[in-house]
Chain A
Amino acid sequence: MPAGTLYRGREGMWSWVAHRVTGVLIFFFLFVHVLDTALVRVSPEAYDDTIAIYKTPLVNVMEYGLVAAILFHALNGLRVIAVDFWSKGARYQKQMLWTVMGVWIVLMAGAFYPVLQHTLRTLFGS
């Protein structure tokens, strides 16, 4: 890494990479999600059979990953907006990133059981 750079390889760059990767990921999921929801216009069975895929352990874990991506993108998006519109935003961008990560960890911990309870209950009994 070249010495003396403020951006490259630092928090600012990595948060931008993560924001971009999560944004693209969410967009692709949204495309699939509109298609699966559209099955309610086909028949209740077609819809329920497809939603059953979401209830398998593997997809349920992927869903927790999707929650992780959305929470990071949303919180970091608010940080980007603060950097752009708050007069002191750029000066506190690093502190705001650590705040984002802190809130993200708390929310992810809080979402662990609610989101994964379906899998936890089917795998480990009631």
Chain B
Amino acid sequence: MSTTETTETANGAATEPTDDVALFDVDHPAPVIEPPRKRTAKTPKASRGNFEMQTWLFMRLSGIVLVVLVLGHLLIQLVLDGGVSKIGFAFVAGRWASPFWQVWDLAMLWLAMLHGANGLRTVINDYAERDNTRFWLKMLLYVATVFTVLLGTLVIFTFDPNIR
């Protein structure tokens, strides 16, 4: 176990110490050491951290918009005009006659589903420890999410008040 030998080989072409004279200047630059986190050919172009950062931001932006959309929805459906008593096919027909409420419900559907699905993705990542379990739980989540978003969108766009 000779440590001295290893150090010497590692330093290889290190400069010889000279008294008083500056070791390095413009014409004799210091040797460059590769930065520890330098991007190399092996580094993936986009790192995974970037996606997680975008979803983190999405949770907050969608949250702010959902406060208005969801609390407004609850106010209209459950609080004003007799609460749940008035809900029925006729009430839905009345509201979806207006493009404003169609767009409102469409935005609420997409934002809440994506916000909730991404939240559940985090929860699955936290608690499902086996790779296989995690994979299949997320597949189930994604399939259910796509199905629900598409079904809801279809219902809003194809609603027919004179269905009979």
Contacts and interface: CB of A to CB of B under 8 A. Distances in A.
Given A34-B152, A47-B89, A74-B67, A41 B159 contact: yes
Interface of B: 60, 63-64, 66-67, 70-71, 74, 78-80, 82-85, 87-90, 92, 109, 112-113, 116-117, 119-120, 123, 144, 148, 151-152, 154-155, 158-160, 163-164
B142 to A, nearest CB: 13
Name the prevailing secondary structure of the B interface residues: helix
Name the prevailing secondary structure of the A interface residues: helix
B138 to A, nearest CB: 14
B85 A34 contact: no
Contacts of B123: 20, 24
A48 B64 CA distance: 33
Contacts of B154: 41
Interface in A39-94: 40-41, 43-44, 47-48, 51, 54-55, 60, 63, 67, 70-71, 74, 77-78, 80-81, 84-85
A67 B83 contact: no
A121 B82 CA distance: 10
B155 A40 contact: yes
A51 B116 contact: no
Contact of A37 (B84, B112, B155, B160): B155
Interface residues of A, number: 39
B164 A43 contact: yes
B87 A74 contact: no
Contact of A117 (B74, B82, B88, B152): B82
Nearest to A85: B60
Contact of B144 (A31, A111, A115): A31
A70 B74 contact: yes
Contacts of B88: 47-48, 51
A27 B80 contact: no
A60 B151 contact: no
Interface of A: 20, 23-24, 26-27, 30-31, 34-35, 37-38, 40-41, 43-44, 47-48, 51, 54-55, 60, 63, 67, 70-71, 74, 77-78, 80-81, 84-85, 111, 114-118, 121
Given A31-B144, A34-B155, A48-B89, 12 more contacts: A24-B120, A31-B148, A37-B152, A40-B159, A41-B163, A55-B85, A67-B78, A77-B63, A80-B60, A81-B64, A118-B82, A118-B83
B19 to A, nearest CB: 52
Contacts of A24: 119-120, 123
- Choose among A24, A70, A80, A114 the residue with the greatest number of B CB atoms under 10 Å from its CB: A114
Given A34-B109, A40-B92, A117 B85 contact: yes
B1 to A, nearest CB: 42
